[in-house]
Amino acid sequence: MCFLDNDFSPSLIIQKSYWGSVTSAAPGTPQSSKGDVVKQLAALGGGDGSIVSQLLSNPFFTAGFGLAGLGAALRYGSRGAQQIGALVRRRMLVDLEITRHDKSYDWVLNWMTAQYQTGMAASQTNTMERVIRRLMPGLHHLQIETSTLKSASGTEKTAFSLVPGHGKHILRYRNAFIAVHRERVDRNFDAMGKPFETVRLTTLYSNRHIFEDIVQEAHELAVQSTEGKTVVFTSQNMTWQASGQPKRRRPFDSVVLEEGLAESVLSDVHEFLDARTWYLDRGIPYRRGYLLHGPPGTGKTSFVQALAGELDFNIAMLSLSQRGLTDDLLNHLLLNVPPRTIVLLEDADAAFSNRRQTEADGYSGANVTYSGLLNALDGVASAEERVVFMTTNHIDRLDDALIRPGRVDMTVHLNNASEWQMEKLWDRFYAEQDVSGEGKRRFLDRATGAGLPGNVSTAALQGLFLHNKTDVEGAIGMVDQLRTAAAKPLQTSTAKRDTAVSA
């Protein structure tokens, strides 16, 4: 039974009952610990009637509503901090993204490897550099790229290179730290069957100018790797792809043509390359076509290789009789020829309209038509700034529309080896062993007596000299064998003609 004193107000009675219930709870219970925490927080607030003390003394706030509000405030504050961080990152950092389809993709990968190796070599003599290299992650995930080369003898040589693999790397370039992230985008593949990949370079915004220097240095490094060499491109899945490793340039005088013929073609190409403005000012398509024709083994393809080496050009080689080549693909390839590249179209006589003979394996022959070849060379959609060489063993099979000016501007006949060519080839092989020239005179006399000039190809003559590299007498003694080899094609063709007549 409770007695009320007249001196207490109703509000005071409620407060006393509340605190009485709290203090009367058993020690260690949740209510007791909660009250103690609240009293301590109120004491920290100063108990002077401030907002903090009033909130802490409010039972609704301490029951959870205030704590929920604080949690929400912290959550939105964290989001704000993230947005501010992203804003600061956009303001302070700059990215450069390079995709696999860009030409500079392989350049940058090779540059990264060279840069890392150069930095490691330089750090051997600098203490500070050694410490920085130890602290930096660097390139710890590498990827190997292997290629196989075939020599003329048929042996294979394997070459490999190491490039940065997928993942994150850190490089240091000109006192600037660069974060590199190479990643593969899902499972997307291009027409060549290669996965879609990107390389992202990130550095401080103040160092953004080094990106241009990196790409330029990577390009110079790529040029150095092919300096003094000729890159041969072939068509693969609607694009030009380098066929193996770059080849050493072939000396221009290594291919011996008739006297003055090689120099005449070289002079004409130089004149064309120097007349670009003249062509454009007069509205004439800036392209030049050459046709090399003659018997097999007279050096048509070899001359194009030597000419490309002399001009410091590459070669885009395409056979018009290859499987899968269509009119649209031919035009697409000629429109996308790499810069400073000679286009070599072999077997020009293979482009016949309606050539659909079905072979044993079900292949229906070449799909390039004559009209498709003509349009690719000199049509409305044909490419400009282009040098095209066509080769054929049978010029009589070519239509006049193909060899007219604008498509073929210069026709060059490469015949079998003349006496002058035999003399020049002898000097190239035996100038050191036959200083007096006595062996050359005996060889020419014997070859002339056997009727070889004009009847044997330069390839067959060169094969004889290769078989007797330093043996002058051996080369002279095998002239009769060369005459027999030269007579075989004539006998074969005569037999075929007789068979055709009897049929």
Same domain, 293 and 145: no
Is residue 339 domain-resident? yes
User: Pick from 374, 391, 413: which residue ends a domain?
Assistant: 413
The backbone torsions φ and ψ at residue 142, rounded to the nearest 5 degrees and listed phi first, read -105, 160
Is residue 388 domain-resident? yes
Give, for 374, the enclosing helix (H) or strand (E): helix 370-378
Same domain, 472 and 377: no
Same domain, 442 and 320: no
In this structure, are strands 239-242 and 232-236 parallel, antiparallel, or unpaired?
antiparallel
Same domain, 309 and 217: no
Per-residue pLDDT tens over the stretch 335-388:
888 889 999 998 888 765 444 444 454 444 557 888 888 888 887 666 778 899
CATH number at residue 280: 3.40.50.300
Same domain, 176 and 99: yes
Instruction: Find the domain containing 280 and state its range.
Output: 247-413
- For residue 290, list its beta bridge partners: 389, 410
Same domain, 207 and 267: no
What is the structure's pLDDT at 112?
Answer: 83
Same domain, 259 and 405: yes
- For residue 95, list its beta bridge partners: 202
0.75 exceeded by the pTM?
Answer: no
- Give the chain's domain count: 3
What is the structure's pLDDT at 170?
Answer: 81
Same domain, 280 and 374: yes
Same domain, 406 and 426: no
Is residue 492 domain-resident? yes
**Residue 278 has which token pair?**
């003249």
Query: For residue 13, what pLDDT band results from cuts at 50, 70 and 90?
Result: very low
Distances (CA, A) of 467 to 52, 454, 460, 477, 478: 104, 21, 11, 12, 10
Distance CA 291, CA 409 (A): 8
**Which range has the worst mean pLDDT, 83-87, 186-190, 414-418, 424-428?**
186-190
Same domain, 466 and 443: yes
Same domain, 294 and 394: yes
DSSP string, 275-324: THHHHHHTT---EEEEEEE-STTSSHHHHHHHHHHHHT-EEEEEETTSTT
* pLDDT over threshold 90, residue 266: yes
Per-residue pLDDT tens over the stretch 475-493:
988 888 877 766 554 344 3
Same domain, 408 and 423: no
Per-residue pLDDT tens over the stretch 32-77:
555 565 555 545 445 455 665 666 666 655 556 566 766 777 777 7
User: Pick from 191, 225, 259: which residue ends a domain?
Assistant: 225
User: Pick from 413, 430, 448: which residue ends a domain?
Assistant: 413
Per-residue pLDDT tens over the stretch 91-118:
688 888 888 888 888 888 888 888 766 6
* pLDDT over threshold 50, residue 28: no
The backbone torsions φ and ψ at residue 440, rounded to the nearest 5 degrees and listed phi first, read -65, -40
Is residue 9 domain-resident? no
DSSP string, 20-77: HHHHTSPTTSHHHHHHHHHHHHHHHTTSSS-HHHHHHT-HHIIIIIHHHHHHHHHHHH
What is the structure's pLDDT at 174?
Answer: 80
